[in-house]
């Protein structure tokens, strides 16, 4: 039976990790998978997390199972940062832990599907795994163009997609630091999107995988909070991969906002059942460390500092790229106003290959670059390499 299975291509982004690792050139530059890097090119464990891990080793007295909902102390400790004042919206918001942001997106889409969603409206481009997850669940994708040709977020296309939606549709939006383009909606655009969603029957799913990496924790949740103020119900997929640097520990959460507080337990019981059927329980360690950080004022302050440092460094890189102006045939200035880890350069497949072969610069086939892969030590080489392949 298994012999009937077709060969699948490796995930292009994850395959790039191996290609990069196998390249012996010492001046190679990794702009592939989305991990933050310091100006030394490292991805160290956050100081606040290290401290919390030490505490965890001392204090944790059992590794016995928790349950499909995971560590609810972790789930609740995050809520004021995500939802602001009145984090439960009068008992209408509750959550559960998931294996990373991917687990949260998967669970959100599966929950929508279980509730009857047949189509999912998604901007194009989007994080490639969004489409894989949605298709795997048998949900049809309806796309709209995310950005205008001038490199701004396109309000008209998203509003049109919302207007044209049908009963039984859901919509998946990036809360901030759009992956892959780095092009976010402005506050005013979010207000209009929220109003349009409020007038529709769509179920919004907001993917908030990069809170704190754009303009700060508060600012980066503006869009989410604007939407929640206008719609009766929503799903929120959250990731601690980047803003706590917990990538391989797989730390995420799914939050549900129900129309009425009496509905939340019933809705989440479906999330628990889906989790049980998929991974049973999420891994504990990273979420427990986040809980310890957020329950300790000094560690929370340390985390804020570390997050601010990451954001400032990425801004410096973006400023330097924007300052380069026109490089070969590329206008680099829009990178200065984009947010988060990613931006997309309009390069051809041949140019991307030439960057890799001739200059040891690794980036996704879509032209997406991880801004944090650039340091003050390699950025000039990168700009020169771009100039070389785009003349
Ligand atoms: C990325 O887009 O590079 C990250 O979110 C990692 C991943 O899982 O794709």
What pLDDT digit, counting tens, does each position of 195-206 carry?
999 999 999 999
Distance 253 CA to ligand 1 centre (A): 16
Separation of 62 CA from ligand 1 center, angstroms? 32
Q: Is residue 5 part of a domain?
A: no
Are residues 65 and 179 both part of a single domain?
yes
Q: Please tell me the total count of domains within the chain.
A: 2
> Which atom of ligand 1 has the smallest separation from the CA of 241?
5
Give the number of the atom of ligand 1 that is nearest the alpha carbon of residue 180: 2
Same domain, residue pair 39 and 134: no
Q: Which of 390, 366, 386, 388 is nearest to 321 (CA)?
A: 386
Whether residue 186 is found in the same domain as residue 244: yes
- State mean pLDDT over 37-53: 97
Residue nearest to atom 1 of ligand 1 (CA): 34
User: What pLDDT score does 11 carry?
Assistant: 87
Question: Which of 267, 297, 327 marks a domain boundary?
Answer: 297
- Is the domain of 85 the same as that of 20? no
Per the domain annotation, does 3 fall within a domain?
no
78 within some domain: yes
Query: For a substitution probing ligand 1, which of 12, 127, 245 has the most ligand atoms within 8 Å of its CB?
Result: 127
Residues acting as catalytic residues: 127, 207, 242
What is the gyration radius of the CA atoms in the chain, in angstroms? 21
Question: What share of the chain has pLDDT > 70, as a percent?
Answer: 100
Q: Is the pLDDT of residue 377 over 90?
A: yes
pLDDT, position 12: 87
- Of all residues in the chain, the percent with pLDDT exceeding 90 is 96
Q: Whose CA is nearest to atom 2 of ligand 1?
A: 34
Q: Are residues 24 and 57 in the same domain?
A: no
pLDDT tens per residue, range 239-285: 999 999 999 999 999 999 999 999 999 999 999 999 999 999 999 99
Calpha distance 370→237 (Å, rounded): 22
Length of the chain, in residues: 391
Whether residues 358 and 375 share a domain: the answer is yes
Residue 354's pLDDT is: 97
pLDDT top residue among 304 and 149: 304
Together in a domain, 293 and 312 = no
Please check whether residues 231 and 311 belong to one and the same domain: no
Identify the CATH number of the domain in which residue 268 sits. Answer: 3.40.640.10
* Nearest residue (CA) to ligand 1, atom 4: 34
* 4 domain residue, yes or no: no
Q: Has residue 60 been placed in a domain?
A: yes
User: Residue 41 is part of which domain span?
Assistant: 11-45+300-384
C-alpha span between 257 and 227 (Å, rounded): 11
3-state secondary structure the chain: CHHHCCCCCCCHHHHHHHHHHHCCCCCCEEECCCCCCCCCCCCCCCHHHHHHHHHHHHHCCCCCCCCCCCCHHHHHHHHHHHHCCCCCCCCCEEEEEECHHHHHHHHHHHHHHHCCCCEEEEEECCCHHHHHHHHHCCCEEEEEECECCCCCECHHHHHHHHHCCCCCEEEEEECCCCCCCCCCCCHHHHHHHHHHHHCCCCEEEEEECCCCCCCCHHHHCHHHHHHHHHCCCEEEEEECCCCCCCHHHCCEEEEEECCCHHHHHHHHHHHHHHHHHHCCCCCCHHHHHHHHHHCCHHHHHHHHHHHHHHHHHHHHHHHHHHHCCEECCEECHHHHCCCCCEEECCCCHHHHHHHHHHHCEEECCCCEEEHHHCCCCCHHHHHHHHHHHHC
Question: Among all chains, which residue has been given the structure tokens 């086939």?
Answer: 365
How far is residue 318 CA from its own chain's centroid? Answer: 19
Give the domain CATH number at 16: 3.90.1150.10
In terms of domains, do 132 and 111 share one? yes
Q: How much is the average pLDDT of 129-134?
A: 97
Q: Are 103 and 259 spatial neighbours (Cβ–Cβ below 8 Å)?
A: no
State residue 323's pLDDT score. Answer: 97
Asked if omega into 2 is within 30° of 0 (cis), the reply is no
pLDDT at 78 over 90: yes
- Cβ atoms 283, 249 nearer than 8 A: yes
Last residue of a domain, one of 297, 325, 351: 297
The pLDDT value recorded for residue 381 is 97
Tell me if 257 sits within 8 A of 242, measured CB to CB: no
> For the CA atoms of 281, 282, 283, 284, what is the dihedral angle to 10 degrees?
-90
Please tell me the distance between residue 248's alpha carbon and the centre of ligand 1 in angstroms.
11
What integer pLDDT is reported at residue 391 of this predicted model?
85
**Where does the pLDDT of residue 10 fall: very low under 50, low under 70, confident under 90, or very high at 90 and above?**
confident
Q: Hey, whose CA ends up nearest to atom 6 of ligand 1? A: 34
* Residue 338, both tokens: 């984009």
pLDDT of residue 150 exceeding 90, the answer is: no
Mean pLDDT score across all residues of the chain:
97
Smallest CA-to-CA distance from 144 within 124, 174, 171 is with 124
Sign of CA dihedral 292, 297, 300, 306: negative
Q: Are residues 192 and 291 in the same domain?
A: yes
Query: Pocket of ligand 1, candidates 10, 14, 33, 238: which has the most ligand atoms within 8 Å of its Cβ, to mutate?
Result: 33
Ligand 1 pocket list (CB less than 6 A) = 13, 33-34, 127, 129, 179
Q: Are residues 190 and 69 in the same domain?
A: yes
Domain termination site, one of 255, 274, 297 = 297
- The pLDDT tens digits for 280-327 are 999 999 999 999 999 999 999 999 999 999 999 999 999 999 999 999
Q: Is residue 186 domain-shared with residue 320, that is, in the same domain?
A: no
């Amino acid at each position: 039976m298994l012999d009937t299975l077709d060969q699948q291509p490796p995930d292009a982004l994850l395959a790039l990790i191996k290609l990069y690792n196998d390249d012996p050139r010492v001046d190679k530059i990794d702009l592939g998978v989305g991990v933050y890097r310091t100006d030394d090119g490292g991805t160290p464990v956050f100081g606040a997390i290290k401290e919390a891990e030490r505490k965890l080793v001392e204090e944790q007295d059992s590794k016995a199972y928790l349950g499909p909902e995971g560590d609810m102390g972790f789930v609740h400790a995050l809520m004021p940062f995500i939802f602001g004042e009145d984090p439960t919206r009068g008992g209408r918001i509750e959550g559960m832990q998931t294996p990373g942001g991917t687990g949260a997106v998967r669970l959100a889409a599966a929950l929508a599907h279980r509730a009857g969603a047949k189509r999912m409206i998604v901007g194009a481009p989007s994080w490639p795994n969004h489409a894989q997850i949605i298709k795997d669940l048998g949900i049809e994708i309806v796309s709209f163009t995310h950005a205008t040709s001038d490199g701004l977020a396109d309000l008209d296309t998203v509003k049109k997609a919302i207007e044209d939606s049908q009963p039984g549709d859901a919509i998946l939006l990036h809360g901030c630091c759009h992956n892959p383009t780095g092009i976010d909606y402005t506050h005013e655009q979010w207000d209009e999107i929220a109003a349009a969603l409020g007038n529709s029957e769509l179920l919004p799913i907001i993917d908030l995988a990069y809170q704190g990496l754009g303009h700060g924790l508060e600012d980066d949740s503006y869009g989410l909070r604007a939407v929640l103020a206008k719609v009766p119900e929503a799903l929120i997929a959250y990731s601690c991969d980047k803003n706590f640097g917990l990538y391989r520990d797989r730390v995420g959460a799914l939050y549900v906002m129900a129309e009425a507080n009496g509905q939340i337990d019933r809705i989440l019981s479906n999330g628990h059942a889906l989790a049980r059927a998929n991974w049973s329980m999420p891994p504990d360690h990273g979420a427990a460390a986040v809980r310890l950080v957020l329950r300790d004022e000094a560690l929370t302050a340390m985390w804020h500092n570390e997050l601010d440092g990451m954001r400032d460094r990425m801004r410096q890189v973006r400023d330097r790229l924007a300052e380069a102006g026109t490089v070969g045939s590329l206008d680099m200035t829009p990178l200065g106003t984009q947010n988060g880890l990613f931006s997309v350069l309009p390069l051809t497949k041949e140019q991307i290959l030439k960057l890799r072969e001739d200059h040891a610069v690794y980036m996704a086939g879509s032209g997406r670059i991880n801004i944090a892969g650039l340091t003050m030590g390699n950025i000039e080489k990168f700009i020169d390499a771009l100039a070389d392949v785009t003349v």
